[in-house]
């Protein structure tokens, strides 16, 4: 997968979308986790097991990391690649599938997209493309064969 070149126009559009989403939702974490767990209910137990008594903190850190990667994708795509190149195989060693990473990133983008007006097809298409790029990058670092969970 080729990384995007730094793109100030796309970064500005993303920042505008994120600011509007923050104005509408405030903290994006609860909505992101609710959507994520509705899609991947088995992930909840993994957060409990790997949170070592600090499940909420782990959830917050994972959503924060997904948001960070989203926010810098058009400024520092290589940094995002490095983050996922390290994190995905590490977590797979802990029996956390790459699909769960991709699912969290997708849930985050979908929650943000849900704040965009139905009539704003450009912003919606932009977010769909961004979601596809990030989830493909995550899945590209899987050390396991993909398949149904």
User: Within a domain: residue 148?
Assistant: no
The percentage of the chain sitting over the pLDDT mark of 90, rounded to a whole number, equals: 63
Please give the tally of structural domains in the chain: 1
pTM of this structure:
0.88
- What's the pLDDT at 144? 64
- Which CATH number goes with the domain that contains 112? 1.10.490.10
48 pLDDT above the threshold of 80: no
Note down the domain range covering 117. Answer: 8-140
Q: Could you tell me if 28 and 111 are in contact, meaning their C-beta atoms sit under 8 angstroms apart?
A: yes
Of 105, 99, 108, nearest in space to 30 by CA: 108
């Amino acid at each position: 997968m080729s990384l995007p070149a730094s793109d100030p126009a796309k970064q500005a559009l993303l920042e505008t979308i994120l600011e509007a989403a923050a104005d509408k939702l405030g903290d994006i974490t609860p909505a992101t986790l609710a959507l994520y767990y509705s899609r991947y209910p088995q992930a909840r137990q993994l957060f409990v097991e790997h949170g070592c008594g600090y499940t909420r903190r782990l959830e917050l850190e994972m959503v924060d990391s997904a948001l960070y990667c989203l926010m810098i994708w058009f400024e520092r795509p290589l940094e995002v690649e490095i983050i996922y190149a390290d994190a995905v195989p590490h977590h797979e060693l802990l029996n956390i599938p790459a699909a769960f990473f991709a699912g969290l990133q997708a849930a985050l983008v979908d929650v943000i997209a849900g704040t965009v007006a139905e009539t704003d097809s450009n912003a919606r298409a932009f977010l769909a493309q961004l979601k596809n790029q990030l989830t493909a990058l995550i899945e590209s670092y899987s050390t396991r064969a993909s398949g149904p969970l």
